[in-house]
Amino acid sequence: MAKNKKSTKKEAKAGKFVFWVIGLIAVSVVALIFFNNHSKSDDEGKNDTIDYANQPFIGEESAPVSIIEFGDYKCPNCKNFADNIVPWILEEFVDTGKAKFYYFHYPFINIDSKRTAKFSEAVYHELGNEAFWEFHELIYDKQPEDPGYETVDVFTEEFLTETLKEIASEEDVVKVVKYFETSEPEAAWKKDEELAGKLNVSGTPSIFVNGKLFNGQTMEDLKTMVDEASLGEGNE
């Protein structure tokens, strides 16, 4: 699998990111961003075997810790996570070689969620890891301020295609759309969804560290869990 060591966050967000991280670490209120919607499984210690093959990730393939986000492109908390937590994860764990960061699909909100998951799988299959993350970031950037659980046909095929054109050539876009129209990318996101079911995921974003559900409330809690996993405590 290709490596992608570069940060996916735009430099324009750097100042906002630094201020945000310092403030939230100081007062330990990460829960306000995403943990209020974080799933609590019935079996918190459950550690099913996870197949990481052919999954988009950021970082060194040899990194000892694997962090997974189960997300939904229509979920506002997932957007907050992408904008505000992921940059910290990349800086703290990925850039230092401690961990690699994966995105798995759990498109539970409505048809827009499923359509976007399928399209992003097509992007990954046809254009590779780096293009997937560029598209991933664009989709969260374009998420409506009030996406609405009942509102559908926001992330239409036309919208997704036009978004892809911002980062890909016309020839590549045609390849992605052609693959999107097959059943293969749907099978890919459904594989993620099946794993989410086995892990008792019930909301997004849900975070796993080396196969174990993260139930902490602060960045320090996550740092502790990753550090313990890197030392071999709680490895897969």
pLDDT of residue 151: 83
In a domain, 236, yes or no: no
pLDDT of residue 232: 81
Domain that holds residue 111: 12-230
Q: 3-class DSSP state for residue 90?
A: helix
In a domain, 5, yes or no: no
Total domains in the fold of the chain:
1
What does the block give as tokens for 175? 């390849």
In a domain, 131, yes or no: yes
In a domain, 29, yes or no: yes
Question: In order along the chain (236 residues), what is the average pLDDT of each group of 10 residues?
Answer: 43 41 41 48 56 96 97 96 97 97 96 97 98 98 81 94 98 98 96 96 96 94 96 62
* Cβ atoms of residues 118 and 186 within 8 Å: yes
- pTM for the model: 0.82
d(CA 45, CA 47): 6
d(CA 50, CA 40): 19
One DSSP character per residue, 131-168 reads HHHHHHHHHHHT--SS--SS--SSS-HHHHHHHHTTTS
In a domain, 6, yes or no: no
pLDDT of residue 146: 76
Question: Strand pairing partners for 101?
Answer: 58, 67
pLDDT of residue 168: 98
CA angle, 43 then 100 then 15, to 5°: 110
In a domain, 194, yes or no: yes
Domain CATH code at residue 185: 3.40.30.10
In a domain, 4, yes or no: no
* CA-closest candidate to residue 218, choices 101, 108, 92, 96: 92
In a domain, 93, yes or no: yes
